[in-house]
């Protein structure tokens, strides 16, 4: 933002200076040229008056000193009588071409000079014609100094404008950067993040205060939600454990026709216990503050697959991996929990003879991790809702419906994404994408 404000301010300042300096310089340059031309014309008129007196007194026309005395050093003076005879030709530009032009009644065209032609005597009965040619070098130097001064003034104005623009940009951008940082920290799970807007324009300070009020309100709501979830989960686990123990003891002493009913009740109690554990896991995931760093994806995948291999063999499910070297930007421990939940969900839905393939690869600046199985799969509406809480897509009565919700929360906290696709040939493929480097 600082660069954009600086570029915009300087662009506007350059435009304003161009609209002021260029016309001003052009007008002053034209005025200098007019003044220079007027000075040459005045000198030519004075010399013509001197020449008229000399010609009237019938002085020797070869005596040129009296006429050229009033000319500036370096000027060229050419005096012709009424018959076109050259009476005086003094100076570096007194050439035949200049004399021919004067005889023809034209102003001579001499490069880098200013010329004035004056009539000697009355215009009705001129006694001759006088031409004064003066070098334009003093005029050029004067105009160069003018443009140099205007350029220096414009450069000084630009420098002052740049300093003002930098200060203005920092004054505006600093509280916005603080607000952005607070928003990013809050998005990462730090609900205590605040912008603390005490600097910057009034509108930005009001925005910071509004953000802080919103963050405080959201933090209060999340705290109450987590506390309630944790309290309910903890309060449920103790009576469920006691009830499970009583039913297990009772199942040993009841007749066979009631024993099956008790085992069904025990299964439901086990499901409630897993649900309470899942709620605890979700609450912990939501209150976790993320601190991403570069993690070894290959090592984590191989470690989790090795730990889950005994469970897969017990279920008769084949578990394979195909992982190349890859590093992802994630909070340590998140990818482990993601893989555990995905593998647990897959094993719950599969039976003997099925297959699970875990792969990881780098593509387009992301690490793509997939867990694909050849089980019953899910329909498109089921896949769309699978990451919601308490949704068990594959109709598993023992599932709490919280595993994929935890996956979505952990992956989103690390600026990644999680999707479900149909496995070619049938089944379900969970695809997790994590940034391979620090996100901008």
Positions in the chain whose pLDDT score sits under 50: 62, 394-395, 397-398
The yes or no reply on domain 292-435 and CATH 3.30.565.10 is: yes
pLDDT number for residue 354: 92
Q: What pLDDT does 242 receive?
A: 78
The pLDDT, as a whole number, for residue 281 is: 63
User: Within 13 A of 354's CA, how many CA atoms are on the CB side?
Assistant: 22
Portions of the chain given CATH number 3.30.565.10:
292-435
- Which pLDDT score is estimated for 245? 78
Q: Are 431 and 308 in contact (CB under 8 A)?
A: no
For 114-124, give one letter per residue: b (16+ CB within 10 A) or e. bbbbbebbeee
Residues 6+ apart with CB under 8 A from 165: 5, 6, 9, 10, 13
Q: Which fold has domain 2-140?
A: Beta-Lactamase (3.30.450)
DSSP letter for each residue of 314-363 = HHT-EEEEEE-S-EEEE-TTHHHHHHHHHHHHHHHH--TT-EEEEEEEEE
SS3 state at 108: coil
330 Rama sector, left if φ>0, alpha if ψ -120 to 50, beta otherwise: beta
CATH class of the domain whose range is 194-289: mainly alpha
Looking at the chain, the domain(s) classified CATH 1.10.287.130 span: 194-289
C-alpha to C-alpha distance for 20 and 14, rounded to whole angstroms:
10
- The CA distance from 42 to 44, in Å, is 5
Residue where the block lists tokens 């005025």: 31
How many angstroms separate the CA atoms of 423 and 220, rounded? 42
The CATH 3.30.450.20 portion of the chain extends over 2-140
Bridge-based pairing state of the strands 355-363 and 318-323? parallel
Return the number of other C-beta atoms located less than 10 Å from residue 38's C-beta: 11
Using a 10 angstrom Cβ sphere, with 0-12 exposed, 13-18 middle and 19 or more buried, the burial of residue 274 is: middle
């Amino acid at each position: 933002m600082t660069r954009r404000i600086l570029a915009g301010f300087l662009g506007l300042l350059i435009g304003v200076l161009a609209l002021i300096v260029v016309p001003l310089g052009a007008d002053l340059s034209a005025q200098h040229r007019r003044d220079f031309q007027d000075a040459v014309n005045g000198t030519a008129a004075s010399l013509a008056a001197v020449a008229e007196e000399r010609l009237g007194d019938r002085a020797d026309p070869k005596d040129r000193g009296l006429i050229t005395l009033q000319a500036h050093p370096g000027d060229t003076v050419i005096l012709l009588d009424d018959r076109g005879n050259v009476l005086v030709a003094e100076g570096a530009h007194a050439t035949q071409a200049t004399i021919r032009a004067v005889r023809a009644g034209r102003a001579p065209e001499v490069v880098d000079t200013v010329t004035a032609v004056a009539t000697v005597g009355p215009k009705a009965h001129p006694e001759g014609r006088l031409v004064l040619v003066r070098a334009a070098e003093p005029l050029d130097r004067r105009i160069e100094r003018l443009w140099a001064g205007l350029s220096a003034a414009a450069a000084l104005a630009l420098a002052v404008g740049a300093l003002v623009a930098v200060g203005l940009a920092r004054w505006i951008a600093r509280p916005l950067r603080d607000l952005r940082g607070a928003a990013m920290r809050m998005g990462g799970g730090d609900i205590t993040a605040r912008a603390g807007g005490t600097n910057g324009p009034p509108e930005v300070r009001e925005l910071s205060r509004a953000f802080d009020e919103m963050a405080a309100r959201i933090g209060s709501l999340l705290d109450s939600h987590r506390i309630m979830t944790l309290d309910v989960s903890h309060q449920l686990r103790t009576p469920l454990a006691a009830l499970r123990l009583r039913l297990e003891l009772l199942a040993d002493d009841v007749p066979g026709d009631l024993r099956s009913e008790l085992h069904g009740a025990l299964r439901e109690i086990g499901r409630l216990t897993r649900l309470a554990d899942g709620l605890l896991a979700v609450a912990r995931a939501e209150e976790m503050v993320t601190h991403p760093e570069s993690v070894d994806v290959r090592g984590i995948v191989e470690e989790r697959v090795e730990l889950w291999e005994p469970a897969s063999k017990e279920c008769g499910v084949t578990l394979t991996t195909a992982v190349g070297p890859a590093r992802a930007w994630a909070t340590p421990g998140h990818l482990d929990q993601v893989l555990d939940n995905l593998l647990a969900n897959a094993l719950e839905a599969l039976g003997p003879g099925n297959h699970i393939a875990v792969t990881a690869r780098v593509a387009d600046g992301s690490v793509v991790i997939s867990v694909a199985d050849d089980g019953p799969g899910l329909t498109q509406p089921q896949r769309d809702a699978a990451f919601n809480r308490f949704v068990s897509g594959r109709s598993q009565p023992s599932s709490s419906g919280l595993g994929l919700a935890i996956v979505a929360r952990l992956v989103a906290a690390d600026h990644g994404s999680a999707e479900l696709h149909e496995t070619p040939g049938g089944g379900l493929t969970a695809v997790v994408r994590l940034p391979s480097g620090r996100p901008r």
